[in-house]
Amino acid sequence: MIADLVIALVFIGYAISVLMGFGTILTWVERKQAAVMSDRIGANRAYIRLPFTQVKLVWWGLFHGMADGLKMLLKEDFKPRTYDWYAYAVAPWVVFTPVLLVFAVIPFGGTLTPAKLWAPLAGFFGERSWPMQIATLDAGLLIVFAFSGLTIIGAMLAGWSSSNKFSLLGALRAGSQMISYELVLALTILGLILIYGTVDLDVMVRRQSGTVLGFLPAWGIVYQPFAASLFLAAAIAENKRIPFDLPEAESELIAGYFTEYSAMKMGLFMFAEFIEIAIIGALFTTLFLGGYNLPYMSDAGFALPGGAAVALPHGAVVVTQLATFLLKVFLVCSFQILIRWTLPRFRYDQVLTFAWKFMFPLALANLVVTAVVVWAVRA
């Protein structure tokens, strides 16, 4: 029981530090990648001077994120005179918390057996092993959608309680857009659920560690390439980033539903957006890119297509899986940033048309085709 608690605390600490780390580092990656993509240098002036020396650490502008965070903490926390200040104060947290909670069901590694990592740990943990996932739930994907749906409430709450027309209009835009794309998001994943026959994310990852046709890794993107692109597009729209950042419109709606927020409350909205990039990356990795496993890899080691197998010690497997997961998530995040700095944004009616008249039918068609093929293969 105590061992369970310790493991759970370790996993929670890991997950929170990973998400916070991604949120912080992505603000820097976004700037630098955008700069490199457009032949610029990017932010590189903030530095930390070592005390009592003239040594200035610049580190390619990494400290700009710290400077921004400090700025947001130290700014005046302006409060509008609103009739519902409680909702106003709680809204950023309603946006921020579910984003973190989604990560609870995402497996970020295979199975962890502390006794095999380091022999003296056996005295405390015994020979038990734990899946590297905060909450091992059968209903994994359903939890993901349940929590990610909560952010809509936060956005609506923020817009409503600000007593500002622009905020309210921005919140309406955000709400209708997020609800539309949530539907598409769920429909694109239904095909995967049909193929894997489960909504448990850990089982889904394990099913992806085999091969198709003898050599291709059995990743979701190989089975469902079309659904993968739809999923990514819908997820970016759900996150309200360019090309779908319609709740924000400087000339008409100012900053949309967080117009009236300043200082760290606004920072929370921004931070939630950046963490959600990482969450989308983690979901995409888990569903379509084989999760924490390298190609041909499982908890036992590598099983190469030629029939050769390489067994790995438990510690090496755990480290490889953790690193692989982080790397894949980072690459997907980077791809999202590439999209954000490449595509021009839609008009608002085009966003909803795109969701309902283009992506929704395509997702349905994908689902029907998948269902027929799965039925034909199983029969």
Partner 1 sequence: MSRKPFVRKQYWNEPEMGLWERAYLPEILRGLLITGGVFLRNMGKWITGRKGALTTYYPEETRWDYAAGNRGKHVLTRRPDGSPQCIACNMCATVCPAKVIEIEAGFDPADAAHPKYPVKFEIDYSRCVFCGLCVEACPEDAIRMAKEVPHLPSGDRWAMWLGREELLAWQPQSDVAKPYPPAPAGRRAPGESA
The contact set with partner 1 (CB under 8 A) reads 33, 35-41, 338-339, 341-343
CA dihedral 42→45→51→55, nearest 10 degrees, is 80
Compute the least distance from the CB of residue 38 to partner 1, in Å: 7
CB of 250 to partner 1, least distance (A): 23
Residue that is written with structure tokens 């020979």 in the block: 127
**Minimum distance from residue 298 beta carbon to partner 1 (Å):** 32
> For residues 40 and 75, which CB has a smaller minimum distance to partner 1 in the complex?
40
In which element (H, E) is residue 56 found?
A: strand 56-57
Burial of 271 (0-12, 13-18, 19+ CB in 10 A): buried
Nearer to partner 1, 235 or 318 (CB): 235
Question: Nearest approach, Cβ of 246 to partner 1 (angstroms)?
Answer: 18
> Are the beta carbons of 155 and 178 closer than 8 angstroms?
yes
Q: Which is nearer to partner 1, 40 or 71 (CB)?
A: 40
State the minimum distance, in angstroms, from the CB of residue 361 to partner 1: 14
The one-letter code for the residue type at 156 is M
Taking the complex as a whole, the smallest distance from the CB of residue 87 to partner 1 amounts, in Å, to 39
Contacts of 357 (CB under 8 A, 6+ apart): none
CA 205 to each of CA 6, 106, 334: distance values in angstroms, whole numbers, following the listed order: 25, 10, 22
Q: Which helix (H) or strand (E) holds 48?
A: strand 48-49
Kindly state the smallest distance separating residue 358's Cβ from partner 1, in Å: 9
CB 162 within 8 A of CB 82: yes
Q: Greatest CA span in the chain, whole angstroms?
A: 76
Choose among 336, 328, 331, 333: nearest CA to 291. Answer: 328
Q: How far is the CB of 37 from partner 1 (least distance, A)?
A: 5
DSSP annotation string for 301-350: EEE-TTS-EEE--HHHHHHHHHHHHHHHHHHHHHHHHHHHTTSPPPPHHH
Closer residue to partner 1 (CB): 46 or 303: 46
* Complex with partner 1: residue 130 or 360, whichever CB lies closer: 360
Query: Residue 6 or residue 338: which is nearer to partner 1 going by CB?
Result: 338
- Do 152 and 174 touch, CB atoms closer than 8 A? yes
Q: Which residues contact 16 (CB under 8 A, 6 or more apart)?
A: 100
Nearer to partner 1, 196 or 360 (CB): 360
Q: Provide, rounded to whole angstroms, the least separation between the CB of residue 343 and partner 1.
A: 7
For residues 115 and 362, which CB has a smaller minimum distance to partner 1 in the complex? 362
Q: Given the complex with partner 1, which of 305 and 361 has the nearer CB atom?
A: 361
**Dihedral angle, C-alpha 94, 99, 100, 106, nearest 10 °:** 150
Residue 256 CA to residue 171 CA, distance in Å, equals 7
